[in-house]
Structure 1
């Protein structure tokens, strides 16, 4: 499967998808991430054939930083 977005054209065949170590075995709201072709790909772990989002490395680092800083905490 090849996708194009944000100036990237990446082939997801053989991508090494990883799930967060904080995702438990009984959690149903997990995502998986793969680093491919200079981009960061994200998908729903329950729908491996579904939509894939692509991010630039800078966008990904901003997201990770916001997560660590509690920017997305509900309260």
Structure 2
């Protein structure tokens, strides 16, 4: 039997609450190879059940957490170009001065 919209919402809220209740004070943070210690970069930590935490290397206090399904959807979308930036002056595109 398929879940109703209300059941899906309640399940996702429970998953989120459980994920943010995890103590991640001792997790190992990873960043892309080739980045320097002083550079701003995205860092991720692998959590139980395939979940992932993400933060900026310059702001350790703000940590986003994603379930395995959310993380998989993001990574697959990024691989497919879903989040590619249109070239603009702000992001170093062709019009940058």
Could you say which TM-score interval applies, normalised by the shorter chain? 0.7 to 0.9
Report the Cα distance in structure 2 between the residues aligned to 1:52 and 1:16, rounded to whole angstroms: 13
Gaps spanning 5+ residues in structure 2: where? 1-14, 87-97
TM score, norm. by length of structure 1 = 0.75
Point out which structure has higher relative CO (alpha carbons under 8 A, 6+ apart).
Answer: 1
- More helix per residue: 2
Larger radius of gyration: 2
Superposed CA RMSD: 1.9
Gaps spanning 5+ residues in structure 1: where? none
Report the Cα distance in structure 2 between the residues aligned to 1:34 and 1:58, rounded to whole angstroms: 16
How many residues are treated as equivalent by the alignment? 68
TM score, norm. by length of structure 2 = 0.60
Report the Cα distance in structure 2 between the residues aligned to 1:74 and 1:11, rounded to whole angstroms: 34
